[in-house]
């Protein structure tokens, strides 16, 4: 039975009073997610924002700087190793901390290692960018792993009715972490003596060391919070329903490593065969082919290893196939519409955000002005937008809140066109930054709540990782060419382009809202409280709100 009552599409969902909706932010679970969100927000800024300014200040070409954003593609492919994180126990740590906290701890330790590697590299030294790229890729991989576990932790920690609040608190913590790693890093680099006119490697090295120290506080946080208590669905073999042996997990991990090695080999090989081009559009299309062929190679290797009985077929199916099959069982063909929305919803603001710091520099703003406006004031506005999004998600249907967020996210990009006609103007800068970040925060909060509603508690980490990976894959690939697009056109065209690609998303939201029930209505179990026409209790019936839903024996989510 479900912890959420099924309702028909004609039955309005009860709205919480504004006071009750706001009070939910003081829940202990919401505070925990605030802290975890903070430590999740630090690594991403050290890959995108702070690293781009470091490299640009060191004199690295703009095209190379924006391509470093690809180091964060681990966020887009984390669904590949999410099944391992979801099912494989860590020796000793899992028994001591629980499966979620154990993986968070390991991910945070790898994040600290990656930051230290990047700090050890002076990008102006010959051939040093290779080691910098290795550190950035490790940072992207480890921080994406942390996101996998934190997302699963958040969904398992509280019932669906509280997920909008947790989403807003996660966004708030995430944005505060961005302030520390964004504005804080710029302040520190300037304090330690690096400026646009006089670059200092030691200043940036010390800055990244400080960031590694801050992540050390995340380790302490992980050790003191509690493991979520839910009905766990263990990955089991067919022999009496017992957990898999350690050797089974070892062989599964071997298959994963060989598949990833195949991906890397194919990525390098295919990359050397594809032609070079100065066209941003052709380059983007070639990169899509590049990634698709590399993924195909990894899938073929993985499939071959399963057929060769390197790992048990039933175990591989449970790990990688069943989470996807569950999603399509619940939504049928309409799942494709949902996946399209998930993959495209954030494309407008993510693509624009990749080049934003370089844009501000090119508009004549100093590093401190960028820190004050973008990394401090802008993030505060994003936090406010997140709280507003959380309130809206509690007060109205999730798809209506999604529509509001999508409209604001694309329209506010036009404000940067206005800024190009007023370069160096702080009032115009603050206008664009404040409204853009308010919209981004609102859209992020409602979108996280939307993804959480789509996720089955049986496959928390895997399905949410698939959704969040899909959310960033296409935008980040396209964002890597943002510098090339600007070089071949201009900033005005670029920001109008980011506005235009957000318009089709509104149509997608309309069709999803019209044809698919999301949220409380999207619950396939009756809680036993419904009555039939004679007033008798009726239980174990599927809701009629979404006829595609089927019984998947899903355990209940956490209760209030």
Q: Where are the domains of the chain?
A: 23-230, 247-311, 313-520
Residue 262: the pLDDT is 87
Residue 507: the pLDDT is 93
Interatomic CA distance for residues 140 and 42, integer angstroms: 11
Residue 20: the pLDDT is 64
Residue 15: the pLDDT is 60
pTM to 2 decimal places = 0.72
Residue 506: the pLDDT is 93
pLDDT tens per residue, range 505-514: 999 999 998 8
Residue 332: the pLDDT is 87
- DSSP for 509-542? HHHHHHH---GGG------S-EE-TTS-EE-S--
Quick check: do 23-230 and 313-520 share a fold? yes
Fold for domain 313-520?
A: Growth Hormone; Chain: A; (1.20.1250)
Residue numbers of the chain with a pLDDT score lower than 70: 1-21, 62-63, 66-67, 69-70, 72-73, 76, 230-244, 246, 280-281, 519-560
Could you give the C-alpha distances from 154 to 31, 139, 254, 262, in angstroms and in order?
A: 11, 22, 29, 33
Residue 517: the pLDDT is 76
Interatomic CA distance for residues 260 and 80, integer angstroms: 9
Pick the CATH number of 23-230 from 1.20.1250.20, 3.40.50.1360, 1.20.140.10, 3.20.20.70: 1.20.1250.20
Residue 18: the pLDDT is 60
pLDDT tens per residue, range 32-61: 999 999 999 999 888 877 888 888 888 777
CA dihedral 417, 423, 426, 427 (to 10 degrees): -50
């Amino acid at each position: 039975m479900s912890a959420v009552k099924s309702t028909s599409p004609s039955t309005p969902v009860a709205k919480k009073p504004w006071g009750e909706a706001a009070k939910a932010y003081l829940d202990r679970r919401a505070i925990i997610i605030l802290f975890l969100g903070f430590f999740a927000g630090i690594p991403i800024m050290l890959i995108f924002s702070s690293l781009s300014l470091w490299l640009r200040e060191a004199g690295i070409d703009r095209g190379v700087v924006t391509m470093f954003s690809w180091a964060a593609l681990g966020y887009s492919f984390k669904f590949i190793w999410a099944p391992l994180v979801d099912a494989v126990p860590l020796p000793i740590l899992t028994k001591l901390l629980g499966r979620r906290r154990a993986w968070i701890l390991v991910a945070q330790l790898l994040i600290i290692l990656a930051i230290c590697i990047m700090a050890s590299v002076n990008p102006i030294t010959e051939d040093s960018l290779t080691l910098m790229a290795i550190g950035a890729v490790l940072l992207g991989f480890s921080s994406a792993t942390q996101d996998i576990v934190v997302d699963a932790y958040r969904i398992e920690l509280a019932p669906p009715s509280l997920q909008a609040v947790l989403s807003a608190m996660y966004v708030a913590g995430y944005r505060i972490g961005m302030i520390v790693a964004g504005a804080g890093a710029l302040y520190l680099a300037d304090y330690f003596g690096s400026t646009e006119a006089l670059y200092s490697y030691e200043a940036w090295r010390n800055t990244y060391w400080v960031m590694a120290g801050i992540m050390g506080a995340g380790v302490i946080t992980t050790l003191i919070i509690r493991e979520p208590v839910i009905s766990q669905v263990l990955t089991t073999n067919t022999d009496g329903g017992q957990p898999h042996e350690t050797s089974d997990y070892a062989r599964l991990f071997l298959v994963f490593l060989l598949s990833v090695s195949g991906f890397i080999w194919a990525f390098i090989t295919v990359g050397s065969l594809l032609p070079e081009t100065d066209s941003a559009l052709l380059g983007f299309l070639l990169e899509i082919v590049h990634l698709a062929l590399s993924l195909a190679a990894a899938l073929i290797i993985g499939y071959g290893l399963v057929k060769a009985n390197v790992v048990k077929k039933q175990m591989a199916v449970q790990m990688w196939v069943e989470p996807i099959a569950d999603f399509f069982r619940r939504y049928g063909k309409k799942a494709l519409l949902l996946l399209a929305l998930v993959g495209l919803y954030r494309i407008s603001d993510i693509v624009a955000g990749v080049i934003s710091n370089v844009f501000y520099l090119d508009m004549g703003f100093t590093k401190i002005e960028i820190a004050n406006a973008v990394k401090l004031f802008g993030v505060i506005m994003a936090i406010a937008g997140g709280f507003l999004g959380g309130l809206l998600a509690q007060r109205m249907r999730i798809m209506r809140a999604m529509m509001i967020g999508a409209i604001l996210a694309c329209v506010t990009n036009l404000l940067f066109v206005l800024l190009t006609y007023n370069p160096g103007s702080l009032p115009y800068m603050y206008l664009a930054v404040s409204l853009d970040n308010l919209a981004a925060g609102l859209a992020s909060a409602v979108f996280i709540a939307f993804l959480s509603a789509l996720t089955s508690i049986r496959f928390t980490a895997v399905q949410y990782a698939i959704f969040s990976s899909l959310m960033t894959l296409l935008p980040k690939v396209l964002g890597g060419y943002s510098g090339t697009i600007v070089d071949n056109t201009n900033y005005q065209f670029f920001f109008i382009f980011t506005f235009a690609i957000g318009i089709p998303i509104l149509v997608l939201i309309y069709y999803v809202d019209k044809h698919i029930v999301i949220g409380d209505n999207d619950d396939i179990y009756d809680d036993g409280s419904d009555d039939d026409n004679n007033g008798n209790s009726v239980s174990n019936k599927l809701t009629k709100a979404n006829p595609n839903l089927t019984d998947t024996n899903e355990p209940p989510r956490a209760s209030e």
